Chain A
Amino acid sequence: MKILRINMTNLSVRFEELGEYEGLGGRALTSAIISKEVDPLCHPLSADNKLVIACGLLGGTAAAMSGRVSVGCKSPLTGGIKEANAGGQAGQVMARLGIAAIVLEGKPKEEGTYKIYINKEGAKIENDNTLKMLPNYDLVEKIKKEFGEKIACVSIGPAGEMKLSGASVAVTDMELRPTRHAGRGGVGAVMGSKGVKVIVLDDAGTTPRQPKNPEAFKDANKRFVAGLQKHPVTGQGLPAYGTNVLTNIVNEVGAYPTYNFKEGRFAGARKISGEVQAELEKQRGGNPTHGCHRGCVIRCSGIYHDKDGHYLTKQPEYETVWALGGNCGIDDIDKIAMMDYLCDNYGVDTIEMGATIGVAMEAGILKWGDADGAINLLHEIGKGSYLGRIIGNGAAFTGRAFGVERVPVVKGQALPAYDPRAVQGIGVTYATSPMGADHTAGYSIALNVLKTGGFVDPLKPEGQVDLSRNLQIATAFIDSTGMCLFIAFALLDQPETNQALVDMINAFYGWDMKDSDVVEYGKKVLKFERDFNIRAGFTKQHDRLPRFFYKEPIPPHNVVFMVKDEELDQLFNW
């Protein structure tokens, strides 16, 4: 496997050995490269920043679930290190091309709209101004005409070209639609700052990567898949309803942030739940059970059709439905699906946009529940109007622009779909993750609410720091393998499935990794990230929730966030 360095200043490409990065994949690789090679004090949109796109350790192999792709940089949203990952086909395709990471460096001397084509012969950079400001769906259609359908695309929409801090990097799915997004932290703005509109990956003539020990690898993969299929969540719940099955449970336990985190329950939750969504998808000829990349055996994704039975968007995820729905008082699932499509098309993060629209509603720009107004705000981003540029820069920026006090962000990044007062463990993750408020970084909901891997009372502060620490370490490892994080539900409950994953990695690389090595691997990744952030000027005061979470009790439980600052400061003292 090689690193492909693309220098956008002199428009040159260079393949090089992994060298000191040998043994790293996915998030470990993006965070190591950013931590070692990027000046932590640089402007995120400057030539000194780098955008790293990396497949996981098991990318391009026959391992199930191994198609995630990590995108890393210094974040324009948080000012710290960022890794955002996505499904879709790109991770598998680049790995089959023998590329562990694509590193975009420098910045074009003259403005341009560049496309980069990579196949087994090498990489080519071309300025193509006909692609300028195309939304992601139109862009991919145009690229298909030029390169055919057996490709994968990594692209940005107009938001990325405008270098807005809420901009995402889109990855095409199995149907070659730009539906999977490395959404968080404004990674799309960094791609835009490099002048790169799209990377076209073509793996024609390549074969899957081969393990060192094929028999042991095959056996471990078989045990791993059987474990995922046996577990009720990965084998039944997620395929049947997708991630949006969480709406009802999070609402029932009073942790569903509503009206910009004012209440913990939303009266319209059932209308936008995964159960309703899956039923609609079936009725309209969509599909509630669909994989976002080849080799996914959980298939939590889906295809959402409009009232006339035409494709509208991929099945909106729980986070999206919450952000653009309940958080804004919107209970119309079709309008939420339309907003999901617009976010994908213009290339913005759905969580950041939902939180931002909530802040805009708090500012009185729109009324709570005004779905058409929210749709119009997203169109403003596509138009590049001044208002659209404010919204597209996220919740913190919008809060400042309109003088809003209650802005739900940590390190400048919007909080996801679980109120940290009603689920104290996730509050610890939001506060302390090097990524800013990020639920995936240490998904305490699994134990605080879903009773996967045990139970830690969500309403009490005790035990939450240990819980979040352990999950953050484990997640840093899983994010490095290229595996979808949803395997964790089976891993937490079934030691034999956990072992199958480790066996698979060992068989592939000829390693002898033990559980303790997995923990050290995860810690190493977090150390790269913490170290970068400290050098970028972050202090322990940045590892805090906004103060209103400590002062405003949230109904129905009427609790505030109770984990003490001194306890938060112990999270990385392992």
Chain B
Amino acid sequence: MRIKVKLFGGLSSQRDFSKNEEGDILLELSKPVTVAQLIELLELNKKPFIVVLNGVILNELSTQIDSNSELSLFPPIAGG
């Protein structure tokens, strides 16, 4: 299954994944994963605080990720 991961606000992965020209991580996984498992796999420099799966803000990281999903991760941020 294919998943695109977008990292923002100073988040980065300490692993060497393949990326598109925008810097998004493109993953090919052999079996389904939850959001929490995927975050662990990414080995991020900081813990993400806001997790957005296909445009929806998640409260529950045990959500299963479907193929062709987009996961966007953010540290604590704000503005106005």
Contacts and interface: CB of A to CB of B under 8 A. Distances in A.
Interface of A: 232-233, 236-238, 240-246, 248-249, 252-254, 270, 273-275, 300, 317-319, 439-440, 443, 445-446, 449-452, 455, 457-459, 485-486, 489, 556-557
A249 B50 contact: yes
Given A237-B76, A246-B80, A450-B76, 12 more contacts: A233-B77, A238-B79, A243-B80, A245-B9, A249-B52, A249-B72, A253-B56, A253-B57, A275-B8, A458-B57, A485-B80, A556-B55
Interface of A is mostly: helix
B8 A248 contact: yes
Nearest to A232: B76
Contacts, number: 91
B80 A233 contact: no
A245 B77 contact: yes
B55 A252 contact: yes
Nearest to A265: B55
B11 to A, nearest CB: 10
A556 B55 CA distance: 8
B77 A270 contact: no
B77 A237 contact: yes
Interface string B53-71: 0011101000000000000
B77 A486 contact: no
Contacts of A489: 78
Given A254-B55, A455-B59, A450 B8 contact: no
A468 to B, nearest CB: 15
B55 A244 contact: no
A334 B42 CA distance: 34
Given A237-B9, A275-B9, A451-B50, A249 B74 contact: yes
B78 A450 contact: yes
Contacts of B75: 232, 236-237
Contacts of B79: 238, 242-246, 274, 300, 317-318
13 contacts: A236-B75, A237-B78, A238-B78, A249-B72, A253-B55, A300-B79, A450-B50, A452-B76, A455-B57, A455-B59, A458-B57, A459-B56, A486-B80
B2 interface: no
A233 B80 CA distance: 12
Closest 10 pairs (CB-CB, A-B) = A243-B79, A232-B76, A246-B79, A237-B77, A252-B72, A233-B78, A254-B55, A248-B8, A318-B79, A489-B78
Nearest to A300: B79
B69 to A, nearest CB: 13
Interface in B26-73: 49-50, 52, 55-57, 59, 72
A267 B10 CA distance: 21
A252 B4 CA distance: 13
A188 to B, nearest CB: 21
B78 to A, nearest CB: 4
Contact of A232 (B49, B56, B72): B49
A450 B9 CA distance: 13
B10 A249 contact: no
A440 B49 CA distance: 23
B65 to A, nearest CB: 16
A249 B8 contact: yes
A440 B78 CA distance: 13
Contacts of B76: 232-233, 236-237, 450-452
Given A249-B50, A449-B57, A318 B74 contact: no
A253 B77 contact: no
B78 A246 contact: yes
